[in-house]
Structure 1
Amino acid sequence: MPTRTSLLAAAFATAASLSACATTSTDTAAPALPSSRPNPVVGGPGPAGATEAVVAAADAFLATLSTEQRSQTLYDVTDPALRRWTYFPSSGDRNGLPFGDLSDEQRAAALGVAEAVLSNDGYAQLRGVIAAEDALRERNGSDDSVSSDRYFIALFGQPSVTDRFTVQINGHHLAVNTTYENSRVSPTPAFTGVDPVAFEVAGKRVEPMRDEADAVSDLLGSLNDDDRTAARIDGVDDVLVGPANNGEFPPQSEGVLLSELRPEQRDRVTTAVRAWVGDTDERVAEVLMDQYQAEYDRTRVAWAGSTDPDVKGAYLRIDGPRLWIEFSNVGRFDNGDLHYHSIYRDKQFDYGA
């Protein structure tokens, strides 16, 4: 089966009709992980090079902007606007500059920032989610609130290898909020959704969240009847802890403890966790995976609605001392499409904490 990266890279090579984004292909091997990693402590230092690459890309992007555009892009690092993002379609402004107002050179530089922030898979998914927006626009009859041009990029704080700053990329069905400070990296909160969940670009099928949906299916399918009973919770019709609920996690953890599952089931939990955590820079993701797995004895998995992610109402939650992941199939709307929402948060380190 082709990887998300190779599939989308091939599709975007001829996708001018669905995406005006100009960039180079991402169909390359993932960089090797460092042989030694930082100690897994909350808010610990990130791997060498992760912050530097983003600073270089951000500086290159800022260099393409006019004075007025720079003013629109750069916010104070403490500006409360950072927490004002949404995953709903909107014809109004979000933080920063819309892609639709950028020249080809500027848009390529903006996507270069995204590519530096994210892993190969994460960047390919971002491109897929943005392309899905134009597919949705066609299906909805040229809805002005739905367009790949309605994705915005903002920087909170001046990019620096020592001082705190956040890269925010936000539009319908996408929110990247990655904070850097003294080589510490926090890639949450991160929202990913898609509608339609599958579409064609130049005759090729594109499914930006197939990895996540498959991981949900494999994990829930591995549960026996007793496991499902222990893990089942009341129905949930969307993600609970979105931008309107910053820091408001349910007071009581629900579901089955991972320590009560078989090793092969815990492996499928890890695969599911990696489907979300792995969208950030590969080096950062490996450090975080170590941290989250070290807390598996206090982590629970819960589900509602259906164990089939392609059924309306299907819902998965992975809830640990720090880790919070939600996946929700919010159903079909007037256009008949399936529609996924998901969020990955770190209870102790969102927005760099």
Structure 2
Amino acid sequence: MRARISLMSAVVATTVGLSACVNGTAGGDAAAPAVPSDRPTPTTGGVESAGVAESVVASAGAFLASLSAELRDKASYDAADPALRQWIYFPSTRDRNGVAFGDLTDEQRAAALGVAEAVLSDSGYQQLRGVLAAEDALGVRNHDTAVSSDRYFIAFFGEPGVTERFTVQVNGHHLAVNTTYENGRVSPTPAFTGVDPVDFEVDGQRVRPMLAKTQAVSDLLDGLGEGELAAARIGPIDDVRVGTGASEQYPESAGTLVTDLGAEQQERVVAVVRAWVGDADERVAEPLMEQYQAEFDRTRVAWSGSTDPDTPGSYLRIDGPRLWIEFSNVGRFGNGDNHYHSVYRDRQIDYLG
């Protein structure tokens, strides 16, 4: 495999006007006082999940075997290639890492989706399919052929093997899957999920790819009392704060401690965390849920804008020693329609530490 770095800086000029999609441009956290952070020292880690990699390795092998030598080379990177950290979440006419879905035959595309299905949980995979469908709906709505599920890419960093270190990356405008495996250890982060439109129809069927996430956010914020909302509120934020590259910086902790909430409210925090962590294979997600919940005495909830996630400008953050989840309704440039961005990261095991 050759080492390559893909430079992806051009933004598609569409009527969506995606200025809110660019990393690192969000507002500050002015309303709630910052508190001293309790950050772990990053170490090589990951979840010990024996057997998880086998189906991924098999699916990846079948997909790669279906490709021509040229496409197989394009999909393959060294495990330590810096391009791994260069995923982006805005539409671009420049190629991302790997092979575009639009360059695949129907059979090859099905095999690529089979890799994603092996990596993710059932709900995570269905969400991915919904995000792809939303991208096609967005392109049709804006009469823009550059906005399409064809512009989503799949790449492999390292040769997929049960003991070898490798990462499966699926990246497009509103999706970043970065799941890393090595000798029984797994990391499902960093992960980005967004969607626009958020509610649409395909063949007469209603599709809402991020409904489980927004419902969990709504339930949590609806369950907080006036004083708790005041303690957790921070200043206006117009997008997720932690992206990639230069914006891979965490702000100071702010908001209210999870353990200062009542038992039912804490269960609603658990539901929010599970809505994101549960996109991963359940054999990976369940141990992580236990680890994150054990740190709730050092985990904070913060929000801004509106307590209704379907109001543009609404924002929620779950911020623990390791765990970082953000949800932002960035709206759509020029009108008040909904447009979601979200990120799930683990400070200790992103990219497997």
Q: TM-score higher than 0.5 here?
A: yes
Q: Work out the CA distance in 2 between the residues paired with 1:129 and 1:270.
A: 24
Q: What code does the residue aligned with 1:349 have?
A: I
Deviation of 1:42 (Å): 7.8
Q: Work out the CA distance in 2 between the residues paired with 1:227 and 1:42.
A: 36
| Residues 336 and 301 of structure 1, relative CA distance in 2, 3 Å threshold | closer
Pairing 1:237–2:228 present: no
Q: Work out the CA distance in 1 between the residues paired with 2:170 and 2:76.
A: 13
Q: Work out the CA distance in 1 between the residues paired with 2:70 and 2:141.
A: 35
- Write out per-residue CA displacement over residues 289-330 of structure 1, whole angstroms, 9 at most, x where no aligned residue: 011011011000000000000111100000000000000000
Q: Which runs of 4+ in 1 moved over 6 A?
A: none
Q: Work out the CA distance in 2 between the residues paired with 1:120 and 1:284.
A: 13
Q: What code does the residue aligned with 1:171 have?
A: G
Q: Work out the CA distance in 2 between the residues paired with 1:45 and 1:93.
A: 32
- Write out per-residue CA displacement over residues 261-282 of structure 1, whole angstroms, 9 at most, x where no aligned residue: 0010000000000000000101
Q: Tell me what 1:146 maps to.
A: 147
Q: Work out the CA distance in 2 between the residues paired with 1:257 and 1:270.
A: 13
Q: Flag the structure with more relative contact order, 1 or 2, with Cα contacts below 8 A and sequence separation at least 6.
A: 2
SS at match of 2:214: helix
Q: Work out the CA distance in 2 between the residues paired with 1:167 and 1:334.
A: 36
Pairing 1:85–2:87 present: yes
SS at match of 1:114: helix
Q: 1:176–1:188: 8 Å Cα contact kept in structure 2?
A: yes
For structure 1, the residue ranges without an aligned partner over 5 or more in a row are: 1-40
Q: 1:161–1:183: 8 Å Cα contact kept in structure 2?
A: yes
SS at match of 2:161: coil
Deviation of 1:246 (Å): 5.6
Q: Tell me what 2:36 maps to.
A: none
Q: Work out the CA distance in 1 between the residues paired with 2:50 and 2:196.
A: 36
Q: Work out the CA distance in 2 between the residues paired with 1:308 and 1:322.
A: 26
CA RMSD in angstroms, aligned pairs only: 1.3
Equivalent positions of 1:124-273 (< 5 A) are: 124-141=126-143, 143-245=144-246, 247-250=248-251, 252-273=252-273
Q: Work out the CA distance in 1 between the residues paired with 2:201 and 2:181.
A: 36
Q: 2:46–2:187: 8 Å Cα contact kept in structure 1?
A: no
Deviation of 1:144 (Å): 3.2
Q: Tell me what 2:305 maps to.
A: 305
| Residues 236 and 335 of structure 1, relative CA distance in 2, 3 Å threshold | closer
Q: Work out the CA distance in 1 between the residues paired with 2:146 and 2:265.
A: 41
Pairing 1:296–2:296 present: yes
TM-score, normalisation: structure 2: 0.86
Q: 1:140–1:335: 8 Å Cα contact kept in structure 2?
A: no
Q: Work out the CA distance in 1 between the residues paired with 2:275 and 2:170.
A: 19
- Write out per-residue CA displacement over residues 98-157 of structure 1, whole angstroms, 9 at most, x where no aligned residue: 00000111111100000000000000000000000010011111x133101000000000
Q: Work out the CA distance in 2 between the residues paired with 1:167 and 1:348.
A: 19
Pairing 1:98–2:95 present: no
Q: Work out the CA distance in 2 between the residues paired with 1:112 and 1:246.
A: 32
SS at match of 2:168: strand
Q: Tell me what 2:124 maps to.
A: 122
Q: Tell me what 1:62 maps to.
A: 64
Q: Tell me what 2:274 maps to.
A: 274
SS at match of 2:90: coil
Q: 1:139–1:335: 8 Å Cα contact kept in structure 2?
A: no
Q: 1:195–1:337: 8 Å Cα contact kept in structure 2?
A: no
Q: Tell me what 2:22 maps to.
A: none
TM-score, normalisation: structure 1: 0.86
Q: Tell me what 2:55 maps to.
A: 53
Q: 1:178–1:185: 8 Å Cα contact kept in structure 2?
A: yes
Deviation of 1:45 (Å): 4.4
Q: Work out the CA distance in 2 between the residues paired with 1:324 and 1:313.
A: 19
Q: Tell me what 2:316 maps to.
A: 316
For structure 2, the residue ranges without an aligned partner over 5 or more in a row are: 1-42
SS at match of 1:127: helix
Q: Work out the CA distance in 1 between the residues paired with 2:146 and 2:258.
A: 41
Q: Work out the CA distance in 2 between the residues paired with 1:197 and 1:245.
A: 28
Q: Work out the CA distance in 1 between the residues paired with 2:337 and 2:183.
A: 43
Q: Tell me what 1:12 maps to.
A: none
Q: 1:276–1:344: 8 Å Cα contact kept in structure 2?
A: yes
Q: Tell me what 1:33 maps to.
A: none
Q: Work out the CA distance in 1 between the residues paired with 2:131 and 2:66.
A: 25
Q: Work out the CA distance in 1 between the residues paired with 2:337 and 2:311.
A: 11
Q: 1:315–1:326: 8 Å Cα contact kept in structure 2?
A: yes
Deviation of 1:244 (Å): 3.5
| Residues 149 and 295 of structure 1, relative CA distance in 2, 3 Å threshold | same
Identity of aligned residues (%): 69
